[in-house]
A and B are shown apart, each in its own frame.
Chain A
Amino acid sequence: MTDLSRRFFLTRSAVLGCSLAASPLLTPVTFAAAPWDTRLIVIILRGAMDGLDAVQPYGDPHYKGLRSSLAGGPLNGALDLDGFFSLHPALGPLLPMWQAGELGFAHAVSTPYRDKRSHFDGQDVLEAGTDTLQGGVRDGWLNRMLQEVPGVAADTAYAIGLGEMPVLKGKAAVANWAPDSSLALSPQAERLLAMISESDPAMHAALAEAALLSAADAPMMAGDMARDMQAVRKGNEHQKIAEFAAKRLRQDARVASFSLNGWDTHRAQQRGITAALGDLAETLVHLKQELTGPVWNKTAVVAMTEFGRTARENGTKGTDHGTGGLVVMAGGAIRGGKIYGDWPGLESSDLYEGRDLMPTRDVRAYAAWIMQAVTGLDISTLERVVFPGLDMGSNPGIVL
Chain B
Amino acid sequence: MGAPLAILNVVMGGEFTVRAFESELAEIRFGCGLSPVIAPATSVETMLAGITAPDTMAARFEIEPFDSFRARMVESDRLRRIQRDKRGKPEAKVARKDRNLLKKAARIDMVRWLGLSMLRRTYTETGFFERLVYFWGDHFSATGKAGLIRRATSPYIEDGIRPFVGGRYADLLISAVTHPVMLQYLDQDRSMGPDSARALKRGKAAGLNENLAREVMELHTLGVDGPYTQDDVRELAELFTGLSFQPKQGRKFRKDYVEPGAETVMGKTYADAYSMKPVRAVLEDLAVHPATARHLSWKLAVHFVSDTPDPALIDHVSARYLETDGDLMQVYAALLEHPAAWTQERANIKRPVDFVGSSMRALAVDPAAVIQLDERETRNLLLTPMVLMGQTWQKFSGPDGWPEEDEAWLSPQGLSGRVRWAMSGPQVLRPDLPDPREFVETALGSRASDEVTFAATAAESKSEAIGLVLMSPAFQRC
Contacts and interface: CB of A to CB of B under 8 A. Distances in A.
B199 A315 contact: yes
Interface stretch (A55-63, A194-202, A388-396): A194-202
Main SS at interface, chain B: helix
Contacts of A313: 205
Interface stretch (B21-29, B84-92, B469-477): B469-477
A68 B190 CA distance: 17
B468 A196 contact: yes
B326 interface: no
Contacts of A199: 449, 451, 473
Nearest to A46: B397
A136 to B, nearest CB: 13
A357 B161 CA distance: 39
B425 interface: yes
Interface string A156-195: 0000011110000100000111101111111011001101
Interface of A: 1, 46-47, 68-69, 115-121, 161-164, 169, 175-178, 180-186, 188-189, 192-193, 195-200, 202-203, 206-207, 209-210, 213-214, 222-226, 228-230, 232-233, 261, 264, 266-267, 313-318, 320-321, 353
Contacts of B424: 222-225
B388 interface: yes
A247 to B, nearest CB: 15
Given A196-B451, A196-B472, A210-B419, A164 B407 contact: yes
B420 A228 contact: yes
Contact of B208 (A161, A223, A314): A314
B230 A353 contact: yes
Given A202-B406, A316-B190, A196 B471 contact: yes
B247 interface: no
Interface string B371-413: 0000011011100110110100000011010010011101111
A315 B428 contact: no
A315 B188 CA distance: 11
Given A195-B454, A313-B205, 10 more contacts: A116-B224, A118-B224, A181-B417, A193-B419, A206-B411, A206-B414, A206-B415, A267-B209, A318-B187, A318-B209
Contact of A181 (B208, B230, B413): B413
Contacts of B377: 226
A39 to B, nearest CB: 21
Contacts of B204: 68
A184 B207 CA distance: 54
Main SS at interface, chain A: loop
Given A316-B190, A318-B209, A163 B468 contact: no
A185 B467 CA distance: 11
6 contacts: A117-B233, A164-B407, A184-B423, A185-B419, A192-B459, A196-B455
B415 A210 contact: yes
Contacts of A192: 455, 458-459, 464, 468
B190 A267 contact: yes
A184 B408 CA distance: 22
A117 to B, nearest CB: 7
Given A192-B459, A199-B451, A210-B412, A225 B425 contact: yes
B191 interface: yes
A47 to B, nearest CB: 7
Interface in B310-357: 349
B229 interface: yes
A204 B131 CA distance: 27
A229 B385 contact: yes
Contact of B471 (A117, A178, A197, A198): A197
B15 interface: no
A176 B415 CA distance: 11
A203 B473 contact: yes
B194 interface: yes
A189 B472 CA distance: 12
B474 to A, nearest CB: 9
B413 A193 contact: no
B43 interface: no
Contact of B460 (A47, A163, A188, A198): A188
Nearest to B203: A68
A169 B411 CA distance: 11
Given A225-B428, A315-B191, A320 B473 contact: no
B44 interface: no
B397 A315 contact: no
A115 B230 contact: yes
B142 to A, nearest CB: 14
Given A202-B410, A206-B415, A261-B397, A266 B380 contact: no
B103 interface: no
Contact of B388 (A162, A163, A213, A224): A162
A353 B408 CA distance: 35
B323 to A, nearest CB: 30
Contacts of B205: 68-69, 313, 315, 317
B379 A207 contact: no
B455 A181 contact: no
B412 A213 contact: yes
Contacts of A318: 187, 209
B452 interface: yes
Given A120-B398, A266-B187, A225 B407 contact: no
A380 B199 CA distance: 54
B447 to A, nearest CB: 11
A320 B230 CA distance: 12
B388 A315 contact: no
Nearest to A175: B412
A233 B451 contact: no
Given A163-B390, A197-B471, A183 B416 contact: yes
A69 B410 CA distance: 44
A233 B230 CA distance: 41
Contact of A320 (B210, B384, B458): B210
A199 B424 CA distance: 24
A261 B396 CA distance: 11
Given A188-B459, A200-B477, A225-B380, A162 B423 contact: no
A360 to B, nearest CB: 21
A7 to B, nearest CB: 16
A179 B376 CA distance: 21
Complex A-B, nearest 5 residue pairs according to Cβ-Cβ distance, in ascending order = A315-B207, A200-B473, A210-B412, A209-B412, A181-B413
Contacts of A225: 380-381, 385, 420-421, 424-425, 428
Given A118-B218, A176-B412, A321-B214, A184 B420 contact: yes
A195 B415 contact: no
Given A120-B224, A186-B460, A222-B423, A232 B467 contact: no
Contacts of B476: 200, 203
A117 B473 contact: no
B197 interface: no
Nearest to A225: B424
